[in-house]
Amino acid sequence: MNFTAVEKSGVLFLIVEGEVDEHGAGELRLAADRKIDEHAGADKAVFDLGKVSFMDSTGIGFLIGRYKKLRRYGIPSYVSRVNAETDKILSLSGVYSLIPKM
């Protein structure tokens, strides 16, 4: 699992790579929360999942947790570049009703 964040003209890209499971989730949450705090003035946030190779229900908890944090800053969230496997999980759990696809 690897996490990076960049802000480009008001859009905060939260880039998650590799395997998202419970084992790496603690670190991922901390890293993402730190970046969200640093970029609290962003207009919107986009989770880039293009390089996610595996995700289980831990990823749902992670995305919804960050969605709630971003919402407290008034920042709407989106997901982009979701692969077929990840899409199956996010569709099933209704994540897209909170965090729409770009």
Partner 1 sequence: MENYMKLEIAAIGENESFARSAVAAFALALNPSLSELSDVKTAVSEAVTNCIVHAYEGEDAQKSILIECRIEKRTVGGALHIAITDYGKGIQDVEQALAPFFTTLEDEERSGMGFTIMQTFMTEFSVASEPGKGTKIVMMKEIAA
Residues of this chain that bind ligand ATP (CB under 6 A)? 57-58, 61
Query: Which among ligand ATP, partner 1, none contacts residue 23 (Cβ within 5 to 8 A by kind)?
Result: partner 1
Q: Between residues 11 and 25, which has the closer beta carbon with respect to partner 1?
A: 25
Task: Tell me the C-alpha distance between 53 and 75, whole Å.
Answer: 27
Pairing of strands 11-20, 44-55: parallel
Q: Between residues 47 and 62, which has the closer beta carbon with respect to partner 1?
A: 62
Closest distance to ligand ATP from the beta carbon of 22 (Å): 7
Contact 1, 24 (CB under 8 A): yes
From residue 61, alpha-carbon distances to 10, 78, 98, 102 in Å are: 25, 15, 12, 20
Query: Which among partner 1, ligand ATP, none contacts residue 73 (Cβ within 5 to 8 A by kind)?
Result: none
